[in-house]
Amino acid sequence: MKAHFDELETRSADAREAAQLEALNDRLARNGLAPVSDLGGLAALPVLRKSELVERQKAQPPFGGLPVSNLAHVFQSPGPIYEPGGISHDWWRMGRFLHACGVGPGDIVQNCFGYHLTPAGMIFENGARAVGAAVLPAGTGQTELQARAAHDVGVTAYAGTPDYLKVILDKGAELGLDLSRITRAAVGGGALFPSLRQEYADRGIFCLQCYATADIGNIAYESEAMEGMIVDEGVIVEIVTPGTGDPVAPGEVGEVVVTTLNPDYPLIRFATGDLSAVLPGVSPCGRTNMRIKGWMGRADQTTKIKGMFVRPEQVAAFVARHAEVSRARVIASREGEMDVMTVQVESPEGDPSPYAASVAELLKLKGRIEIVTPGSLPRDGKVIDDQRIYD
């Protein structure tokens, strides 16, 4: 098997940016947006959040008026959100990840992602087809049948959530079935803990994980180097301050915002609600695209304090109101049986009173103001830190 899925994975940064810019401007035009002169121009465009997509789809079913072409399937995700699906070659770009896992012609992939309403099963089946592998469309549940089928069919690779493969392997052992032909696993949709990856390695199974969503498909994936996740060639990833569309400094934690260059469904600046950060440099495996650290938590830190919701967008509006404020963080705590809101403000100013007035107006709550030295708040992506303990 060749080292890389295609030549796109090893192209220069200049070649990648030029090709993506050309594709991006085409997709912007399809969305009724003006072209940009470079990829940095994305930062001036609005972010599309899932909550907004839900409302748009209610007003203009099924896809909210977004440009969709070559429709083959319609899927439903919680919200509900309806996603289109296509059947063209590697429509969700999952083949790139499966290739990195070592899956290819001659393999039989036991696909344990769901096929019912949600797109995950079709996403991975489409990727398996792109690398020339056959698929056992197992879906979820019925573990004994899954173990027997894996044995009888001669399954060589697994696709599904990280932990379900262990369930199948353990059931196979219980039934006296030899499942040793399974030597590769492509997982997603949950945490792959180091201990579980090691258990698979001890069983002779090479396991890698990807980061994908129902709306976008593959966003980033591990390679054999296992140093972060390599951004897929068909998307543009930005890391922004939660609640805004403003890019963070390189290496800082922020919300993952993705623009997909899929011509059949070009989503522009789609906010995933997930936190991550950019890793410097390129992967030792030879793939040259940007890397991220993988999933680092949720960006939607909305918290209820004193019966009122406080959202990252409100914190961002507070920072934007005061030019001298570089960053702010809301801390929710308890004193006795009472909620307490403290707003830490990075500012060279010493008078908290103007900030208290803005907090009351924009966050709809009165809170303590704590002035802190600029640059002293952690760069961990948190703008709301709920420290309350409920025992």
- For residue 337, the model assigns a pLDDT of 66
Rounded CA separation 58/73 (Å):
19
CA-nearest of 97, 30, 104 to 265 is: 30
- pLDDT at res. 390: 60
DSSP letters spanning 94-157 = -HHHHHHTT--TT-EEEE-S--SSSSHHHHHHHHHHHTT-EEEE--SS-HHHHHHHHHHHT--E
φ/ψ of 384, rounded to 5, equals -130, 120
Interval 183-190 mean pLDDT: 94
For the four alpha carbons of 198, 127, 161 and 236, in that order, the dihedral sign comes to positive
pTM: 0.84
Q: How far apart are CA 328 and CA 334, in angstroms?
A: 20
Give the percent of the chain with pLDDT over 90.
79
Average pLDDT for 181-191: 93
**Tokens 């030019």 — which residue?**
323
pLDDT digits 0-9 by tens, 72-126: 999 998 888 999 999 888 999 999 999 999 999 999 999 999 998 999 999 999 9
Tokens of 242: 């939660």
Cis bond leading into 312, ω under 30°? no
pLDDT, tens digit, for every residue of 366-386? 899 999 999 999 988 889 998
Average pLDDT over residues 288-309: 86
Residue type, 301: Q
Contact 50, 81 (CB under 8 A): yes
- Taking all residues of the chain, what is their mean pLDDT, rounded to a whole number? 93
What pLDDT band is residue 286 in, cutting at 50, 70 and 90?
very high
State how beta strands 254-260 and 235-240 pair.
antiparallel
Angle (nearest 5°) at CA 178 between 174 and 180: 120
Residue among 148, 73, 160 nearest 114 (CA):
160
pLDDT of amino acid 243? 80
Determine what percent of the chain is predicted with pLDDT higher than 70. 99
Q: What is the pLDDT of residues 138-149, one digit of tens each?
A: 998 899 999 999
**Cβ–Cβ under 8 Å, residues 236 and 42:** yes
